[in-house]
Homo-oligomer: A and B are copies of this chain.
Amino acid sequence: MVRWKPGARERLQAAAMDLYISRGYDRTTAADIAQAVGLTERTFFRHFADKREVLFSGQELLEQAFLDGVATAVPHASPLEMVESTLSAAATFFPAERRDHSRRRQTIISENPALRERELLKMAGLATALAAALRSRGVPEATATLAGESGVTVFGVAFGKWIAEGEERSFLDIEREVLGELVAMTAGTTRPA
């Protein structure tokens, strides 16, 4: 009979992150991760499809937050307001106590070309999902794609700022700043230095 220890998934994830940082992602196996917390490789694979999934398992939840953001925008919201609603919903995923985890995850990903590609494809998938949600709320075809891509771009730039060393503002505050920069840029009011 299999005994499920509480929190096995969280312990595996924490151990994986530690190993990916200290030993390197490529040199860490699922067996190493399981062993670090006194579990078997088989148990690891009950929680994660592979060692990459440890880094990307939150994807569906984040995508759902994006979609919920569109769904809960006020009736007759403009596409821009729907994007704002989405950014607010996405921000709830990144409370201050998650910042250190996000920094470590980004360090791991930035050092590995295959993981960087996976992250880019994840962002592209988010943009496609967001555009589809906008279309389902009556946003015209091309505008939905533009708004979906813009929303994900703002999210990505905000994420990069949020994890910068010394940054202490909330994710939402930074998203609002970045969206303001996008609005100023497209209005043609930003000037180069």
Contact = CB atoms under 8 A, between A and B. Distances in A.
A1 to B, nearest CB: 41
A2 interface: no
A60 to B, nearest CB: 19
B79 A185 contact: yes
A81 B188 CA distance: 7
Contacts of A81: 188
Given A142-B181, A146-B181, A181-B142, A137 B77 contact: no
Contacts of A190: 78-80, 139-140, 143
Interface residues of chain A: helix, strand, loop or mixed (majority):
helix
A182 interface: yes
B185 A143 contact: yes
A182 B80 CA distance: 10
Interface stretch (A19-27, A49-57, A153-161): A153-161
Interface of A: 76-81, 117, 120-121, 124, 137-140, 142-143, 145-147, 149-150, 153-154, 157, 160-161, 178, 181-193
The 9 residue pairs across chains A and B that have the minimum distance between CB atoms: A138-B192, A138-B193, A149-B153, A186-B186, A80-B188, A146-B182, A120-B124, A183-B186, A139-B192
